[in-house]
Structures are given as C-alpha cells and as structure tokens.
Structure 1
Amino acid sequence: VTLSTASLTAKISAQTGEIGFYDATGSALCLEKKGGGKMTAPAEVMGEQTYNIQQIFESPADEAFYGLGQHQYDWMNYKGKDVDLYQINCVAVVPFVVSNKNYGILWDNNSRTKFGDPAEYEQLDSFKLYDASGAAGGLTAEYFADAAFSERLLTRNESRISHANLEEWDNYPAGFDKNRGSIRWSGELEGESGVYNLRFYSSNYARLWLDGELVVDSWRVNWMPWARMVSLKMKAGERVSVKVEWIPNAGYIGLTAKGPEKELYQKSLSLCSEVADQIDYYFIAGENLDEVIAGYRHLTGKAPMMPKWAMGFWQSRQRYQTQEELLNVVREFRQRQIPL
C-alpha cells in the first residue's frame, strides 16, 4: 500500500505491516525495523487493562536525534541514549524527536514513554559486589558523625546505595544523624562484558569515583535532586573499583545501573509507552530542520511571541514565608532601579 504527496511517500507492506517513508526522489528517509518494528502487548497498569506499545525504526550510523523537551542531562544528540519521558519538577517533556536526516516524529501518547532501551535501571546488587577488603557480598559502608568523614560511627556491609525516594529515604542505621553526618561506600563491581550506564541520582554534596577516577562531583539543593549519567566499560571476570562519598543533609541519593548496552538500541530510534490502545504518531519531513519544525507547529498550533514587557528579568525563589518578606524584595528592586 502506497500513500503519496508531492514531497513524501509512505509505503506499508500488506504482508508484514512494515512502514517506510521516502522523499520525492524515492530515497529512504526512515524505515521501520525489519521483522519487528512494532510491539503491542496486553498489560495491566494501575488496575486498568491496557496495552504496552513500542515502535522501532532503523537508524544509520551517521544519524543524530534532537528534541524530546527540556532535560537536565548534558546531551545534545540523543542517538543511543535512554530518556524516560515523564513530567517532573525540573523536566519539561515534549515527545517530538527530530533527525539530522530532515524528518521528525511526534509521538502521540500521554502515558509514561521511554526513548531508547525501555529496560529499567537496576540496583547495584545486579552486579557481583565486593567490599573494601575484597570479600564478596556487598560494598563497605562507613557512617560518620560529622560532614568531614573523620568521626566514624560504624561500618557495615551494604548491597545497595538507595535513599532516592520517600519510601527508602530514612533507612539509616540507628545513631546516624542524616542532618549532620556523612557516608562513604567503597568496594568493587563485577559484571558482564560491555558498556553499562550508571545513574547517579543525588542532592546536597555527592561524589563518585570509578577505578580511582572522580567522574561525578555534584551539589544540588535537596528539593531538586537529579541524576548524572556515567558510562562504564566492563569486561567479564574483571572488577572495577567504586567509591561514593555523600554529605546527606537530609537529602537523597541512589546509584543504579543498566546494561550491557544492547546493539539494537544503539542503531535505532525506539519509542515505548506503557498505556495505549494503539501505536499513534505523526511523521513530518522537510527540506531542512526548519521546515520540520514548521510542520510540528502546524500540528500543535503556533506559540505567540511574548510582549516586550515580559522579556525582562524574572524574579523567582522557592517561596515567600510572609507578606512582609515579599514586599521587602519589591522595595529592594525599586531601590536598585531594577524593573519587575
């Protein structure tokens, strides 16, 4: 089955249902993965009978992907990356991805969606773990009474670094003060051959070393923790040393991993949603990326330009506790002749 416009052709196989998109010259723009580009599976989500869906397109080695909204990672090109598309405090999700091959895909699904490998990150005990002395079974966890890692309270074996949400936030040993103390985890990891992606989620002061190299040195406010992503190449049978130091100040931390990387998701464009009735997306092509963005705006509506008076300085803070505090801020701006 062939559907055509003056500049774009979509071909659908009557035998397999595979879809390919082609430009006016007949050159392929985007092709569904042969023999398995679509997945629809019955599922139950929050008590509702529904379907999980996945769509995979083939991607040549020189293709790059951009978009997906506003994320806190330091990635520009999302080729080969995994992004969990759900709206939270510091993330603005836009399920639209554009390619340097001059096309874009608007994924029309408002449930939790994953770009890339949909597998979940796992706790550290998915590795073989060894403590600081080389004994198997977990990492060495040292708890200190102070923030300088000098007044040791106790040492114990732990197989997870997991204080990342309210359910597990307060599971510290008795006697440890999360507002004043510090924690150090150390030991070794052993996994399979391949590249693992580590997700180091934290707030307040946190640092991560791998094989003696400091790879994350982070500070974030406690009400807005976020993750740093680190790639780790491993070889079966060989260990990698790991050390984490954290000054909690009643904050959050979690170290999880996914891997080894699957070749499929390094060479494809994959979108997977957990709740759907069907696979639904819009394919947009153009002579350049500006035309692709114009096609997206045609679908979603144009965003009007803000008036000039709204383009100046925006004052923002976590909260104002009293009206007088708010008024004092306004007085200070007026005294300094800064417009609001």
Structure 2
Amino acid sequence: MSEIRADGTNVRTAHQDLHSEQGALRGEHPGRSRNPVIKVADLAWLEFEKPDLDRAEVFARDFGFGIAARTERELWLRGTFAGSPCMVIRRGRTSRFIGPAFRAAERADLDRLARATGSAVRDADVPGGGKVVDLLDPSGFPVRVVHCGEQLPALPEQQPLLLNFGTDHRRTNATQRPPREPSRIQRLGHVVLETRVFARALDWYLDTLGMIVSDFLFLDGQRDRGPTMAFIRCDQGSRAVDHHTLAMHLGPGTGYVHSAYQVTDLDSIAVGGEYLKERGYKRSWGIGRHIQGSQLFDYWRDPDHFMLEHFADGDLFSCDVEPGWAPMSTSGLAQWGPPATRDFLGASPSPQRVRDVIEALRGDNEMDPARLFGLLKAANS
C-alpha cells in the first residue's frame, strides 16, 4: 500500500503488519520536520563521567568493547567496525551520563547548524581530531554534533556461526562450540532517554537534527493527547538505517535509560551473557526479541548501575516508511522472552524516584496526574 505526497514522492504507508498495526490519524504528529536545519547521519558516541576509570575499563572489556584510547582522565571505547568510538568516559566526582554526540553527514553541516543555533564550531576532543558544535536540547542534555577527522580502522570480527535449517544443511561433519568469551561489540546502535518535556524534545530533534520517527507509542485512553514515546531514526534517504538511533519517553525524571550495542548474532549475545554472569554482573532483562525494532536483546547493569544492551538483527528502514502508532504497554515490549523485570522498567520504588514524581507534578512540564496514572497502568499491562 502506498500514497503520493504533495511533492510527488511515493510513500509506503507501511501499516499492513510491516511494523505496526496502525498508522497516524488525521491531524496527528507527522513524525518528521518539513525543513530541518541539518540531517545527522548517525549517533557517534555517548559521553559519561565516572570516578573509577580502572573499574570502568574492566567492565568495558568484559562487555565486549575495545579500547580506542586511554589517558589518566579519559577512556575511549570502540567497536570492531571502522568509524568513530562508541563511548568516552571521563574522570569525574560522580557516575553520570553527560549526553550524546551525533555524526554530521558533511563538514558544512556544522557551519549551517552553528549559524541557525547561535553556536560556534570548535575543535573536537576526540582521537583523530575533528570539529564539533555543542548544543543543549529542551530536556537539558548537552548534545554534540561532530565531524571527525581520522576514522578508526576496523578490527577482527566475531564470525557468525554457520547454521543448519531444516533440509538446508550448511554445516556437516563439524560441531558447534562457540568459545566462552565476551560478545565483541561491533558498533553503538541507540540511546534511550527519559524526559518530562517529551513533545518539545521530540520536535527539537526532528527540526534541528533532521531525525524522523519510526514508531510512536501512546497511553491507553490518551491518544488524543499525543504520543508519550518515540523511536527515532536518522534520515539517510533511500539508504535503510536502524529503526531507532534515539528513543525518548515521557516520565517523571530526566536522564539516561539505556544504550544498545550491536553484536554478531544470537550466539554472541548468549555466550557473552554467560561470560558476564560468571563474572558477577547483573542481568536486567533478556534474552528476547523486541516488537518495535525487532532486535534480539539482552540487558545488563554495569558496576555503576547504568544499563547497557547487547543486540542483533534489528530492523532497517529507509525514509519512505511512515511512523507506526501503538499503545504503550509492558507486554508490547517483546515478541518472546521472559517478562520484563521491575529493574528494566525502573518500577522499583526509591527515594530519588519519589522526589522525581513530586518535582515533576509541581513543575512546568508535560507530567500531570493523568499522564502519571497512564504510565503506571502501561507498566502493569
């Protein structure tokens, strides 16, 4: 099924079980900007601060990162794919997420972005050098847009296993014995953020960085108030890209939820999980397969309680796939796998969470009692 846009382009409306049971209703958010400032090409890396870089490096190696660079004050982590690093951890007084860095498609995009936002283009403090524009999104997250000079070379890959399917016997006279070792991270896939100003933040990423929505989620009985979660991808035209590079959801807090890193296949996820479990790390949720994005997933906590995901086999969408719309629910998070845990959902009560709720309900944001009740209902549905 397709339709013709006003500009003459043919658009696949994509709601015959492609990725959602339904699409937008008349007047709902289109999921893209008419005239964005630039169109970022991808997520470059994530920035954190932690007081103990030695402990951070031990977990990073166990989780499957390579080390791109290490100084007394910085730890740069990478995957096996050529390109930019996945993460930088800087020494700080507390463990905290700083913000994401997105990759500009062209160097000239930084000049255009700087002019439009009243910012400056400066040298990037990244291995290999480059240029960066520093921004602040409506949630208060520092957001960098970078154009790197020197790219990291590719590293040896963890090869996918050769599988037999029914009468298709590709492996004979050979056994399957994947080595018990860390999953080898290939690349950074996406980051998920919680915000009290979801609608404003969503429009900012679409208008400023040219990202487009793959799927919207809405609260039961509140669709007329707009979505409360969006899975957002980069717009590279006809080139298919990850179903989501950024996901955001409305909540009482403002902060990092998790980040996801691609590995080779299901065996890499499973064996890497066994490796992490043997070393005493805590699994948050997994193994399973998501609905929005379709990824195979496995979620873990690092020693500072940050959540990181191993994933494989995610959906890839080109620009002609329109947003899907679906109700927000815990049961709608996975096609198969164990039930989502309270740890993954952030549903365990804590003094900080109580303070977040009180502050959100008193503040100038998009949280109100109806939204809060709807989120609690979604977490238990």
TM-score, normalization: structure 1? 0.23
Q: Tell me which protein shows more helix as a share of its residues.
A: 2
The structure that is strand-richer by fraction is 1
Higher radius of gyration, 1 or 2: 1
